[in-house]
Chains A and B, each alone.
Chain A
Amino acid sequence: MNRWLAGLLCSLLAVLGSGVQPVAAQMLMNGAGATFPYPIYSKWFDEYARVDQGARFNYQSIGSGGGIRQITARTVDFGASDGPMTDDQLGKAPGNLLHIPTVLGAVVTTYNLAGNPKLRFTPDILADIFLGRITKWNDAKIAAVNPGVSLPDQAILVVHRSDGSGTTYIWVDYLSKVSKEWDAKVGRGTSVNWPVGLGGKGNEGVAGQIKNTPGALGYVELAYAIKNNLPAASVRNAAGKFVEPSIETTTAAAAASATNMPADFRVSLTNPPGDHAYPIASFTWLLVYKDQPDETKGKLLVKFLWWMIHDGQKYTSDLLYAPLPPQVVKQVEARLGEITYQGKPLLAAR
């Protein structure tokens, strides 16, 4: 028994020892933050480890709030957030924090009606439903933009996210832009004081509640809706066109906003101009310090970011994220050139 144990221990040590050797030669980059882009980030870190043998990433998807707190406290090398940091939050950071857009996500309206007809909504209708003004499916406003669809005399049960999330932020940011009343009464945030409806935990909680309740309506991430074959409504965009949510129309939302993109990328993409733009879309960002505290790590990080906005983008569609449009990639390139170590730009050294 003892010999057996000793043998086991020896082999365990051998395995550990062999594992430790190459790892020690690698540089470990720590990151934390948003949960929404976690699948694509882990794919990227995995793929990038093959491109650059010296890089190893450890990313904790603890939520955008946690990501902002950790990068502000400098306990991680990079943060990640689904919502842009406020001026107040940026002011608390010990250095100049850059927002680097990585991919785009969209939020779609899904519902449960007999036969699941294709529905179209205007911004007013969505705001009125979520404010509790439209309470029945056969409301005249809904019928007006959905000719030919038989709408039942059924109560609308609104379902929203109960957990604080970037998805909620994008949704209410959109409602705040299209409805003055929403902006005044509810406002924007990762959790809000909902006028009506039930809360479901996570995309699966919202979708589950909608699937089980005839007459229910709510919002989920585009990727989640595609993967689970949920009906997703078209929404009338700022150009007055009804646009179906898809990866292409989400990227179109960023392309349409590229002309007046602020230099720090802290921009809300909801309700953008452009005929093909789906109006409920948003960037998700990595947060990095403009002046890197460590040269080796800084170089590695910039190299990774460059790879991410170029080669990395081809992995997005498989995982149902929308890639950055070329105009935005150009703009991000310029921003990466500004990342420095003690005043020296790190990108040139690549």
Chain B
Amino acid sequence: MTTAAASRSLSSAVVSARARRGWGDRLFRGLARGAALSLILLVTAMIIGMAGAAMPSFRAFGWRFLYTSTWDPVAETFGALPFVYGTLVSSLLALVIAVPLGLGAAIFLAELAPVWIRPPITFLVELVAAVPSVVFGLWGIFVLAPWLRNWVQPALGASLGFLPLFQGPPYGVGMLAAGIILAIMIVPFITAVSREVLLAVPNTQREAALGLGATRWETTRIAVLRYGKSGLIGAVLLGLGRALGETMAVTMVIGNRPEVAISLFAPGYTMASVIANEFTEATSDLYLGALIEIGLLLFAVTVIVNALARLLVWSVGGAVKQVRE
């Protein structure tokens, strides 16, 4: 058989197979398309539903809702600024603590640790990810907050008290406690995903760097971390997503005071917390509308933060390509 004949019979086989399985392909395509569309529909329906319910609040406060900070359910005056601030600051604080910890642990597990010790530590890290948030919250009230009040906050106040970040009376609970609890909760996510990313880096990368005479640290930095950069940012984003939306544990340790304070010792409030706290007892339409508008705002903040992060990934991805070229 000549090659031309062979290829012809092959292509006719494919064509007849396509004819036979055409309905299967169409079904598959339809199902996949339906799944994708239903996601879009779901998000749209959510936004429309929430915007409708938030209408009384839109009408009463307009843009003022975003930049005023009075939250008075009795007088029905509502402003969301302290909640937006609290959500952003507590999540940022969590990232500041969790990113070095999580990445460090992932590098250790993927690059440096003796092989026998990797599975038990990996298992432990994944175990922490499975702990329910209310357990973290209780631990926060009974262990973390007293420890912060008695030891950490006095020490920070004495050494770094000249910074506005570390001033004020030590309550234990507050923005700092919330940031630390969130950090503990997102470290396992960052570690687990980063470890997978690092393990996916081809060994040839490491061998090449080592062959050029790079040290262990240089190899990790130049050949491994840079290669996996966008994946690592993805890991951090996953953690950030969880931190933004976390409700129960944060509510239990943040102090639930709707005010904008620079000090990390001061109590704060987050968007998810106020919804969880007040939704069940909100009776008037305006009050309910204000809480739902906060939900909508949380949605918007999450989308904006994610979009910014996407931009970051793209710009980093571009940089990597340039290095490779």
Tell me if B146 counts as interface (CB < 8 A to partner A). Answer: yes
Q: Which residues of B lie under 8 Å from residue A197 when comparing CB positions?
A: 257
Within 8 A of A (CB), among B129-168: 138, 141-142, 145-146, 149
Among B74, B169, B276, contact of A188 (Cβ-Cβ < 8 Å): B74
Expressed in whole angstroms, the Cα–Cα distance for A64 and B269 within the complex equals: 23
Measured between beta carbons, the chain B residues less than 8 angstroms from A191 are 73, 277-278, 281-282
Q: Shortest CB–CB separation between residue A219 and chain B, in angstroms?
A: 15
For chain B residues 258-289, which have a beta carbon within 8 Å of chain A?
Answer: 267, 269, 273, 276-283
Cβ contacts under 8 Å, A213 to chain B: 149, 171-172
- B75 to A162, Cβ gap below 8 A? no
Q: When the two chains form their complex, are residues B73 and A201 in contact, meaning their CB atoms are under 8 A apart?
A: no
Contact indicator A193/B282 (Cβ below 8 Å):
no
Is B72 touching A163 in the complex (CB atoms < 8 A)?
A: no
Point out the residues of chain A lying under 8 angstroms from B245, CB to CB.
Answer: none
The reply to whether B283 and A208 form a contact with Cβ atoms under 8 Å apart is: no
Chain B positions within 8 Å of A69 at CB level: 283
Cα of A182 to Cα of B53 in the assembled complex, Å: 32
CB neighbours (8 Å) of B146 from chain A are 212
Q: With A189-B74, A198-B171 known to touch, is A208 a contact of B257 (CB < 8 Å)?
A: no
In the assembly, what is the distance between CA of A166 and CA of B149, in Å?
31
Do the beta carbons of B252 and A198 come within 8 Å of each other?
A: no
Residues in A with CB closer than 8 Å to B75 are: 187, 193
Q: Which residues of A contact B142 (CB under 8 A)?
A: 208, 212
Provide the bound-state CA to CA distance between A205 and B267, in Å.
15
Residue of B nearest to A176 (CB): B74
Q: Are A186 and B256 within 8 A (Cβ)?
A: no
Q: How far is the CA of A157 from the CA of B169 in the complex (A)?
A: 10
| A201-B252 contact, Cβ under 8 Å, with A65-B282, A191-B277 | yes
Partner of A189, one of B73, B138, B145, B255: B73
CB distance from A64 to the nearest CB of B (A): 6
CB of A87 to closest CB in B, whole Å: 13
Is A186 in contact with B282, judged by CB distance below 8 angstroms?
Answer: no
Point out the residues of chain A lying under 8 angstroms from B149, CB to CB. 212-213
A188 / chain B contacts, CB cutoff of 8 Å = 74
Contact B277 A162 (CB under 8 A): yes
- Is B302 an interface position by the 8 A CB rule? no
Query: How near does chain B come to A155, taking the closest CB pair, in angstroms?
Result: 7
Report which residue of A68, A89, A200 has the largest number of chain B beta carbons within 10 angstroms of its beta carbon.
Answer: A200
Report how far A165 CA is from B138 CA in the complex, Å.
20
Contact across chains for A199 and B171 when beta carbons are under 8 A apart: no
Residues of B that sit less than 8 Å from A by CB: 70-75, 138, 141-142, 145-146, 149, 169, 171-173, 251-252, 255-257, 267, 269, 273, 276-283
Instruction: List 7 contacting pairs A-B, 8 Å CB cutoff, sorted by A.
Output: A65-B280, A163-B278, A187-B74, A192-B74, A193-B74, A209-B145, A212-B172
